[in-house]
Chain A
Amino acid sequence: MYVELHARSAFSFLEGASAPEELVGLCAERGMPAMALLDRDGVYGSPRFHLTAKKHSIRAHVGAEITSTEGWRYVLLVQSREGYQNLCRLITRMKLRAKKGEGRAQAEEVAEMSSGLICLTGGDEGPLAHALAKGGIERGMKYVQELCRTFGRENVYVELQRHFSRNEEARNQAAIEIARKLSLPLLATNGVSFALPQQRELLDVFTCIRNHRTLATAGRLLSRNSERYFKTHEEMSQLFADLPEAIANTEILSSRLQFTLSDLGYQFPIYPVPDGGSEMEFLRARTLEGMIGRYGPDNERAQRQIDRELALIEKLNLAGYFLIVWDIVRFCREKNILVQGRGSAANSAVCYSLGITAVDPVGMDLLFERFLSEERGEWPDIDLDLPSGDQRERAIQYVYERYGKLGAAMTANVITYRGRSAAREIGKALSLDPETLDRLSALVGSWEYRDPSDTLERQSRDAGLDLQHRRIRKFLELCRAVQDLPRHLGQHSGGMVVCQGQLDSIVPLEPATMPGRVVVQWDKEDCADMGIVKVDLLGLGMMAVLEESLQIIRAHHGEEIDLGHLPQDDPAVYSALQKADTVGMFQVESRAQMSCLPRLQPKCFYDIVVQVAIIRPGPIVGKMVHPYLKRRQGLEQPEYFHPSLEPVLARTLGVPLFQEQLLRLAMIAAGFTGGEAEELRRAMGFKRSEARMKEIEVKLRRGMTAKGIIGETQDKIVQSITSFALYGFPESHAASFALIAYASAWLKCHYLAAFTAAMLNNQPMGFYRPATLVKDAQRHGLKFKPIDATRSDWNCTLEKIAEGFAVRLGMRYVKGLREEIALEIVRQRGIRKFSSIEDLKQRVPEIQKSELAALAEVGALNFLSGRKGFHRRDALWQVERAARRPGPLLETQEDSQSACEIQESPLQQMTDEERLVADFRGTGLTAGTHPMAYRRADLKKRGIRAAIELAKLPDGAPVRVAGAVIARQRPGTAKGFVFLSLEDETGIANAIITPQLFEQDHTVVVHNPFLLIEGTLQNQDNVISVKARRVEALTISRAETPSHDFH
């Protein structure tokens, strides 16, 4: 039986056109027993190849094509674990000394690391082809002898490929002659680059992308024909009918390749315990110390739980892992870096006691098995949230320092071709003109929701592209074919893997774009699949806000806030949550959350946990939101799918909201074992899992039928479970987020100035634009002071005023102003006050005219002259002169110039409208009057209500509202409905646009910054919205008010 031993996948990045799963799937379909994947300079696709092969009981051989310093490629197959480790080290060594994406292996290195590897003489790009082209058969012979010396005679195979090419066949004849003379075995391969013949087109496009050509100009860089597809045993046997040994040898060689990725040999690092004790003892001691702090000395329940967890940790030999995570957390605490564990780790009382997480799993009765179970046989998953930015970087660097450059690395993030990038690159290869491409890529993927007719074909038609045109047709086919294929390797935002000893012998390492970083060749999921422990150090914008808020409070209020000991059940927090007054609060600020809060009426911490978890696509698609709310409001009695499920679902009134509940549901209703339930969970969280979900569904139904749960009940349970495939939170994760949500709400309610300043300094983040945050804070009584070059820092700061503190807007909001310039302004004014704009220009000479003008336009230079009545246009007038350097003749006349400056400008002061336009254009926000306020009298005459008035109107009342559009949403779960948030000076009004109205007035809704909505008021349980009947564009201001669209 023929075995394909030389195949490239799309993980050869632009040199292969099929996913590894597709190749191995085809292998299984054709009943072939094994296959080897040899991607270029890496083993990127091996885990996926291995796992799929395992599923089909196919032997997945590992190998790679390694680029030599001369440009040709070694074709290497892994025979043993030693060979694999050598291959990984070889790749790491060549990659780490070169730029990202490059690297060539030297002959000496290959010789040094040749043990356990088998070398083929290669196809077009192999050493033999190279030698034959350079010096004919003699040179070819020498090269092959050289390979024999490097790898050992028994480890060299003379490779033959037949793609119906004269040159190739001439080469084959030479190769056969060499093999005969040197008594080396022949080996047939097809040098596979794609699974099916038609995928050659995609490979041609990839070739163009790689070579920066178009199909029209790529010439003979493109494939000669489509023969590099995955051929069957029969096809290959026919091709090599004259050389049956070449086919037979594939099977023989395959049987020699003993190594698979199941034999990886990964070991987690040992934590260096002081004083020679064991890791377990050390962990127990740290846990007990922490437990006393968290639970007090006499909490028996906690003690029992912790003992149980520690026993399991000991049994699974995981103490080192916990200690390593604890060590990172300890480092963060020491360095005052806010850190909080999330995810399933929050189910562990040990993690809580160690300070890794902040949620009490005992108090909340969380399921420990969700975090760690004996039968699962995999590493637990601990994610740490850190403030995004420098602080997180410090934590990452600490891990590098602790475990060494070859002991720790970031996981990769495989960037795949998606709508927009695919359209752009394929369009370029097809020579579509830039304008067409711009238009097309702008069309792709704007809205989350796609109605059934919203296909690429329709979008292309909308873009005015002729579908009858062959190139356009090909474009569409290729766009479809390329979806989800890997494009290049990025770096995962926070996933780190660590290893005992040399990580580079487990998986090759590569340099990352960011200096000082190395990345493994596998992504997060592949690492998990291969059983490599990872710790996610994730940057969370809100953590940075919390941290900065605490610093500001410390500096201005002189108070030390401990987020771990915030007052529980704070009435101000719950009151704000119940009123959905939550702009800026973590996880509960979106429009969907706001429309749920007044119904859910959170009264305790657990309600926030539910609130965080309920507005997720999982519960929404599973139609669980409304039943839960109705039951909570007492409008419905809790109902359970089946009486046996009551204990699981009681705390959420019969409605499954959390992943844990779904797992228990499967265990009770369908008799799943813990392991099977875990498989279910993995399938839920797994992106590439639609097929897996289907398989599990069959299993679920079978199990339920066996337990007598049939018909509608069975359907309901299946729907609940499968809908979680589209994101559902584990309870522990929701609890961790709820803690942050509570902290953000508490800070907003009690330290609004500090919280708002921190929010403004950590943009972009959250749901709303800074303009909305400012207006919301103003409505809560916070005063803002404008950007002022004599007072503002780069960041927003607090200033003491009679009523407390006001926020002084920072120069970071001046568009086009560089940070270093702003800092220099601050430094210079600290030395001596600026006397004029000219003075500023002279003392900060790097400032550009455009920066000066930007500052002047937003009024930041108004206070520089010290003269009352000096307005923005006066400043702009002076800026133009200050920015023009006088010639050498006039340079000495500074005094007279400064004297001139005091003179008034001949320019008119800006009108209110002009100021608004300048504010929004220059800073994206205004601290002044809301644009709608200027027009209120007119609007009132037209019967348009202010947002604040809506609450007083009865449900069903006809109403007209208007405002600046601050958010446009068309969520995937809302069947084409569009949700608009309109802001005026009194608050935010929500409007709902039906799909029909949206279709009809698409342009009005999408393109106008101010809208008038006429419709019917809906006031259900204090959730207020306007169901639009008519939409009209309003001319309020030319100011470019920002809006957060397309969520």
Chain B
Amino acid sequence: MAFASIFVPNFSLQAVVRAESALCERALALIEGNPPLCSVIAINEKAAQMGIGIAMTKTDAEQFAGAEIRPRSLAQEKTAHAALLDIGWSVSPRIEDTAQDAIVLDLSGLTSLFGAEKEIGAHLIERSAACGLRVNVAIASNIDTALIAARGFVGITVIPPGEEAQPLSRLPVGALSPSIETAETLSRWGVVTCGDFAKLPILELSERLGQEGVRLHALARGASARSIAIAEPAHFFEEEMELDDAVEELDPLSFLLGRLLDQLCARLAARSLGAAAIRVRFELEPSFENGVDIREAFPAEKRPGVYAKEIQLPVSARDSKMLLKLLRLRLQLNPPGAPIQKIMLAAEAARPRATQGGLFLPSFPDPEKLELTIARIAQVVGEENIGSPSLTDTYRPGDFQMRRFLTPREAAKADGGSGVCQKTTKHADAQAMTSFRVFRPAVPAKLDLHAGCPTRVAFQGLRGEVIAASGPWRTSGDWWREDPWQQDEWDLEIHFQAAPEQRDRFSSADLRSNSGIYRFYYDSLRRGWFVRGVYD
């Protein structure tokens, strides 16, 4: 039995270069960290020659003229890893997904298909190169030796059975991936290579390093005998379709989406799974400026030529018709804005919803229907305007946020399983006995002041005299943000002069009266007066 390990050295960097092959001609450094503080995590040879080093700060690295500094891309790494798996699966159905940068293939019975082991190695390297990955391949009689050798030796390494120890002996002991504590002990012992380690007497070693020592010793001798852990195919399903002619209308698009959703749902059904989320991604027709595709100037996820939407489902589903309706509604609400060239549809798999709920649970609206209803409302009012409003903990007048509606189950979960919905915290200012109707957005107004106190007001065609005034009530805050506020509020009793037809919108509940109590404010930053609302 033989195993091959494929290892991608400098994986993060290769993942980026794979998507942009021109980069391999340049000094490239990958950075990671929270902006504005980032440090270098990977470099290519050219960058190393220039003097860029790992852990250098972005600012330091940028001082090297001509070096390309790119952020690490987890998305590209994910794709590169998927490609690595594909390379493996293209040769053997029995694959171990060992690490992001390494996989192991069971080569049993493959020599008749691909030739001798060295040829399999060459085949894998060739496949990898086609996928844009430069890899090391090691073939050995056991998995761990193959893995260690692939990490340790460049190119193709074939280790004949029974001769594992010899080549491994040259590698540093760190290649065995000991625990931090064991690595420290080995360092104190002056054990540098796998060969040094393999020479230690196993019995005494077990007394000192326990089972880990025994395991590492076997690894160092190339005597590991573990079996392969076959990789489960991913739970992420993707379908895509490149279109010869770009689609503009919703109906033909729905037809295509329907087909893709049918396939996706069929695959999910075959695995007894449902979709917890549907992601749609359209590539739009390029927009040229001076003959250049302006999309190139943007990172992939922010390109203007890409339209992406995600629909989170309250419960996992695989009803393609329902999913199509949801998609259509979302697309009507936010159309892509340009003809579509390529469609990518992905489903995040999850276990399907149990048909039977709890015996004593009250009946709630069918979650799927509820989601559809919410989507329909969102189509009318806008996505950011649907949900449960809740006050935020701030003095900023009128500030609130919309929280997504929770399904009964989610609500119960959020509430610690008690089944009781959480109440929003009481606002300290909410002691007023009268109710107050807020105008959103606030209505611009004009005020006449005398000695700093409002005397006359005018807004939206209404004019009135101030009968009584209370204020100013001053608030300011968020001074550290880009959108601070500073407002003086006044509660004004207004006696209106005329224009009752306008008052319908803005007057107090007592429409027959010619007066009302309103809240005005002066926005010091915008330098203007506004009506915040009316006391009912």
Contact = CB atoms under 8 A, between A and B. Distances in A.
B190 A430 contact: no
B37 A433 contact: yes
Interface string A431-469: 001011001000000000000000000000011111001
B476 A226 contact: yes
Contacts of A471: 480-481
B473 A876 contact: no
A275 B35 CA distance: 78
B395 to A, nearest CB: 5
Nearest to B182: A880
Interface in B176-227: 185, 188-191, 199-201, 204, 207-210
B488 interface: yes
Contacts of A900: 204
Interface in A465-498: 465-466, 469-471, 474
B287 interface: no
Nearest to B58: A464
B476 A464 contact: no
Interface string A897-916: 00010000011101000100
B398 interface: no
A164 B522 CA distance: 14
Nearest to A218: B393
B394 interface: yes
Nearest to B392: A219
Contact of A466 (B33, B36, B188): B36
Contacts of B36: 436, 464-466, 469
B314 interface: no
A870 interface: no
Contact of A884 (B207, B429, B481): B207
A436 B34 contact: yes
A853 interface: yes
Contacts of A914: 190
Contact of A430 (B57, B475, B480): B480
B286 interface: no
Instruction: Kindly state the interface size class of chain A when it binds its partner.
Output: 35 or more
Nearest to B33: A435
Interface string A151-179: 00000000000011111000000000000
Contact of A910 (B37, B190, B204, B474): B190
A877 B201 CA distance: 12
Contacts of A165: 473-474
Contacts of A464: 36-38, 57-59
A215 interface: yes
A227 B473 CA distance: 11
Given A464-B37, A906-B199, A880 B480 contact: no
Nearest to B394: A219
Contacts of B477: 222-225
Contact of A907 (B191, B429, B475): B191
A958 to B, nearest CB: 29
Contacts of B208: 877, 880-881, 884
A201 B479 CA distance: 7
A849 to B, nearest CB: 9
A814 to B, nearest CB: 14
B190 A857 contact: no
B37 A463 contact: yes
A1040 to B, nearest CB: 14
A913 to B, nearest CB: 11
Interface in B328-359: none
A701 interface: no
B200 A470 contact: no
Contacts of A225: 395, 474-477
A713 B477 CA distance: 57
B482 interface: yes
B472 interface: yes
Nearest to A880: B208
B292 interface: no
Contacts of B482: 470
Contact of B474 (A164, A201, A204, A462): A164
Interface string B99-131: 000000000000000000000000000000000
A853 B182 CA distance: 13
Contacts of A436: 34, 36-37
Contacts of A219: 392-394
A428 interface: no
B428 interface: yes
The CB with the most chain B CB atoms within 10 A, among A164, A439, A474, is that of: A164
B473 A907 contact: no
Contacts of B185: 853, 876, 880
Contacts of A800: none
A184 B316 CA distance: 70
Contacts of A163: 474
A462 B395 contact: no
Contacts of A907: 189-191
Q: Which of B188, B474, B477 has the largest count of A CB atoms less than 10 A from its CB?
A: B188
A848 B185 CA distance: 14
A422 to B, nearest CB: 16
Interface string A867-890: 000000100110011001000000
28 contacts: A164-B473, A165-B473, A201-B480, A220-B393, A220-B428, A222-B477, A224-B475, A225-B395, A225-B476, A226-B476, A227-B474, A435-B37, A436-B36, A436-B37, A463-B59, A464-B57, A465-B36, A465-B37, A466-B36, A470-B481, A474-B480, A873-B189, A876-B188, A877-B189, A877-B208, A880-B185, A884-B210, A906-B204
Given A436-B37, A914-B190, 11 more contacts: A166-B429, A166-B473, A167-B428, A215-B480, A220-B394, A220-B428, A227-B474, A464-B58, A876-B188, A881-B207, A884-B210
Interface of B: 33-34, 36-38, 57-59, 185, 188-191, 199-201, 204, 207-210, 392-395, 428-429, 431, 471-477, 479-482, 488
7 A-B pairs with least C-beta separation = A219-B393, A164-B474, A880-B208, A464-B59, A225-B474, A433-B34, A436-B37
Interface of A: 163-167, 201, 204, 215, 219-220, 222-227, 430, 433, 435-436, 439, 462-466, 469-471, 474, 853, 857, 873, 876-877, 880-881, 884, 900, 906-908, 910, 914
